């Protein structure tokens, strides 16, 4: 970013179109690049991924606002217009003086899915670039944990469970596992109800065990919130007979 004014111009174009798209683009770049760093990718690969993820939705600036912000489901024709944004984004990106084909493939392929269900080319398996898959997972996670015109945001743990249940249908299982290891399904400070009817606050997360954090147990008697005489901590990665039943608003 610091090396190129043109990169800043592209991000300003995205933000002028939609604040959500701007924040979403930055979030995807952070999440995807953190995952790749954990996977020991080389610094040059991290740069390609960060750039491609920042601009993965650049093509959305060519999509009519009424489709982007439509509160209901898209028609088949409307979806066809939306699904053109990876190719349009690639073409816009290619006209800039910061274009790099290795970042461009992230823009072009971030909606491709493992078994060929994605777009724009319907690629499958190893034909999908690994960096594009990383961006694709980050794209799904951030979109689903954000409020959109047609639905409210899902809780992080709900999206983690959805991604885990997708198995190898949508994404490579190894890449997905690495991604989930950098995500906090229950962010610190979340008030959670445990399966033994106690509740408390998440105070730490266990890398690799995103659904089993450390909880400071404060209350008893379910949602009646009777304070415990002796609050205590439970590491759910070590206490396998307990699970988080619910996140309390």
pLDDT mean over 33-60: 94
The label of the residue with tokens 């008030």 reads 191
Average pLDDT, the chain: 90
**pTM (2 d.p.):** 0.87
Exposure string for 161-185, b = 16+ CB within 10 A, e = fewer: eebeebeeebbbeebbebbbbbbbb
Identify the burial level of 57 via C-beta atoms within 10 angstroms of its C-beta, where 0-12 means exposed, 13-18 middle and 19 or more buried.
buried
**Strand-pair partners of 193:** 199, 246
Residue 14: the pLDDT is 57
Domains in the chain (CATH in brackets) are 5-181 (1.10.3210.10), 191-248 (no CATH)
Question: Hey, how many other C-beta atoms are within 10 angstroms of the C-beta on 208?
Answer: 12
**Gyration radius from the chain CA atoms:** 20
pLDDT mean over 40-51: 95
CA distance 83 to 77: 10
pLDDT of residue 79 exceeding 80: yes
- Which range, of 8-17, 63-72, 117-126, 197-206, averages the lowest pLDDT? 8-17
Q: Tell me what percent of the residues of the chain surpass a pLDDT of 90.
A: 73
pLDDT mean over 107-125: 96
Residue 10: the pLDDT is 52
Say if CB 133 and CB 106 are below 8 A apart: no
pLDDT of residue 136 exceeding 90: yes
pLDDT of residue 159 exceeding 50: yes
Alpha helix (H) residue ranges in 39-100: 43-54, 65-68, 76-82, 85-94
Q: pLDDT band at 2, cuts 50/70/90? A: very low
Q: Tell me what percent of the residues of the chain surpass a pLDDT of 70.
A: 92
Residue 4: the pLDDT is 55
pLDDT of residue 101 exceeding 60: yes
Residue 215: the pLDDT is 98
Say if CB 101 and CB 52 are below 8 A apart: no
pLDDT of residue 64 exceeding 50: yes
């Amino acid at each position: 970013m610091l090396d190129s004014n043109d990169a800043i111009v592209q991000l300003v174009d995205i933000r002028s179109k939609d604040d959500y798209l701007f924040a979403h683009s930055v979030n995807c770049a952070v999440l995807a690049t953190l995952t790749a760093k954990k996977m020991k990718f080389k610094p040059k690969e991290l740069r390609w991924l960060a750039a491609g993820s920042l601009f993965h939705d650049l093509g959305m600036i060519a999509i009519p606002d009424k489709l982007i912000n439509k509160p209901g489901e898209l028609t088949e024709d409307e979806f066809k217009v939306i699904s053109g944004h990876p190719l349009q984004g690639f073409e816009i990106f290619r006209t800039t003086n910061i274009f790099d084909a290795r970042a461009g493939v992230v823009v072009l392929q971030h909606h491709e899915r493992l078994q060929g269900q994605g777009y724009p080319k319907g690629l499958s398996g190893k034909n999908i670039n690994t960096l594009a898959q990383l961006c694709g997972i980050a794209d799904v996670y951030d979109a689903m944990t954000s409020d959109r015109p047609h639905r409210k945001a899902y809780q992080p743990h709900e999206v983690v469970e959805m991604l885990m249940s997708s198995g190898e249908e949508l994404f490579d299982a190894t890449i997905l596992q690495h991604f989930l290891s950098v995500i906090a399904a229950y962010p610190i400070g979340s008030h959670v109800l445990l399966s033994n009817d106690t509740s408390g606050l998440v105070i730490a997360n266990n890398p690799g065990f995103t659904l089993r954090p450390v909880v400071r147990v404060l209350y008893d008697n379910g949602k009646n919130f009777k304070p415990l005489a002796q609050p205590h901590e439970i590491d759910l990665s070590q206490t396998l007979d307990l699970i988080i039943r619910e996140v309390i608003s």
